[in-house]
Amino acid sequence: MGILDNLGQIKKLDSANMLQNLMDFPDQIEAAWQSAEKLALPTHYLKIKNVVILGMGGSAIGGDLCVGLSLYNSKVPIIIHRDYDLPAFVDHDSLVIAVSYSGNTEETVSGFQAAGEKGAKMLAISSGGDLAPICRKYRAPLLEINYGAQPRAALGYLLTPILGILSRLGILAISRGEIETAIQLLKGLDSKIRPEVPTAKNIAKQLANKLYDRIAIIIGSGALKVAARRWKTQINENAKSAVWAEELPELCHNFIVGLDFPKRLKDKIFVVVLQSKYDHPRNKIRQSVVFQILQQKSIPYEPILMHPSDSALDEMLSAIYLGDYVSYYLAIANGLDPTPIKSIELLKERLAGTK
Ligand code: F6R
């Protein structure tokens, strides 16, 4: 029996029980949607001309997802800002949403402070930290998270409130019914890929085995670009592995000519292509040409067609959920506890010491 089917070994390695957070994902979405419905929003927030979401790492992915969805159904521009300060266009007609699990991430705090100084409309999603006093100072709503997990393992709490709040403000059109459908879909997926399901029937375990000891290249297009990025960050943080995310159609203009060196590249990488029925028809053709190129170069790859669903949101969430499990199993296959992120902690400590 391989380690991925050894439940005792998985439990032993996963000292902080990240598995429970993974299994909670659909329930996190449910609870966070309810909190977003209850949050008091100032009425003048209904008049905004653009939205800037601030966040880093695990706290930024929900913003990415909203940006991805907004391309299909929002007339108001939404951008994600992963940096210090703010873009110059932000003014009192902007809504600036800070998302930080800890509330202490200095890039996010700096942008949120700047939003107050510029007179922008503001809102934070956080457990508190340094964002809380800024909310009090500028009378900005704070949606408090109280979950107790790594930020990346609390995605439901970081992402769903943005969807709920932007829908209430008429910027995105996501209904409670769509969220309920997504939750059911995720529960169904969970039952197929959780640890009790043996490798022979478990696509997440099979993928982790394929990525083992290789550099993963995750490709997505359209709505699934976000999912590819989440796979990358989760494989980095959980499995402590090198991985890159690429997107279509952009990769057809560079990536495909960069596959000849180093000479033994084919023995070192594994390409995963996330596919959706919503992919642009031209990108579907591009995918098949990319597969031919990979075959010619003997580079292993796997297309994964997301279970056909009725919305881009469902496909994004399913692709993200599958990737979260793959990264978890890859950590276990690497013989590692998925939770600790020593280098990130060290970096934050060093920066805090320079203030
Ligand atoms: C840790 C994680 C990190 C953090 C990031 C920002 O699990 O995912 O990427 O999310 O360092 O910290 P927060 O989320 O506290 O703003």
Contacts (Cβ under 8 Å, ≥6 apart) of 249? 221, 280, 282, 283, 286
CA-to-CA distance for 65 and 92, rounded, in angstroms?
24
Q: What is the pLDDT of residue 181?
A: 95
Measured in angstroms, how far is the CA atom of residue 67 from the centroid of ligand 1?
Answer: 19
Q: What is the pLDDT of residue 72?
A: 83
Residues annotated as catalytic are 237, 253, 348
Contacts (Cβ under 8 Å, ≥6 apart) of 61? 55, 152, 155, 158, 159, 226, 229, 230, 233, 320
Other beta carbons within 10 angstroms of residue 352's beta carbon come to 10
Nearest CA to ligand 1 atom 11: 57
Q: Which atom of ligand 1 is nearest to the CA of 153?
A: 7
In terms of C-beta density within 10 A (0-12 exposed, 13-18 middle, 19 or more buried), how is residue 254 classed? Answer: exposed
Measured in angstroms, how far is the CA atom of residue 287 from the centroid of ligand 1?
Answer: 33
Contacts (Cβ under 8 Å, ≥6 apart) of 184? 26
Nearest CA to ligand 1 atom 9: 57
How many helices (H) and strands (E) the chain has is answered by 13, 9
Measured in angstroms, how far is the CA atom of residue 59 from the centroid of ligand 1?
Answer: 6
CA-to-CA distance for 156 and 279, rounded, in angstroms?
25
Residue to substitute in 21, 61, 105 for testing ligand 1 pocket (most ligand atoms within 8 angstroms of CB): 105
Q: Name the token pair of 55.
A: 């966040």
Measured in angstroms, how far is the CA atom of residue 267 from the centroid of ligand 1?
Answer: 32
C-beta of residue 222 within 8 angstroms of C-beta of residue 283 = yes
Other beta carbons within 10 angstroms of residue 213's beta carbon come to 12
Which residues does residue 12 pair with via DSSP β-bridges, in sequence order?
Answer: none
- Give the residues of the chain that fall short of pLDDT 70: 1
Specify the DSSP element, H or E, that contains 279: none
> Beta 269-275 vs 301-305: how paired, if at all?
parallel
Q: What is the pLDDT of residue 268?
A: 97
Q: Note if the bond before 195 is cis, omega within 30 degrees.
A: no
Instruction: Classify 232 as helix, strand or coil.
Output: helix
The reported pTM is 0.97
Measured in angstroms, how far is the CA atom of residue 205 from the centroid of ligand 1?
Answer: 25
For 61, 226, 272, the CA distances from 284, given in Å and listed in that order, are 25, 17, 15
Q: What is the pLDDT of residue 308?
A: 73
Other beta carbons within 10 angstroms of residue 103's beta carbon come to 26
CA-to-CA distance for 237 and 341, rounded, in angstroms?
6
Q: Which of 341, 329, 351 is nearest to 152 (CA)?
A: 341
CA-to-CA distance for 12 and 9, rounded, in angstroms?
5
For 60, 146, 195, 227, 346, the CA distances from 63, given in Å and listed in that order, are 5, 19, 29, 12, 26
Q: Which atom of ligand 1 is nearest to the CA of 129?
A: 15
Q: What does R_g of the chain's alpha carbons equal in angstroms?
A: 20
Contacts (Cβ under 8 Å, ≥6 apart) of 129? 100, 102, 103, 104, 109
Residue to substitute in 101, 108, 130 for testing ligand 1 pocket (most ligand atoms within 8 angstroms of CB): 101
Q: What is the pLDDT of residue 267?
A: 97
b/e map of 258-292 (b: 16 or more CB within 10 Å)? ebeeeeeeeeebbbbbbbbebbeeebeebbeebee
Residue to substitute in 152, 342, 349 for testing ligand 1 pocket (most ligand atoms within 8 angstroms of CB): 152
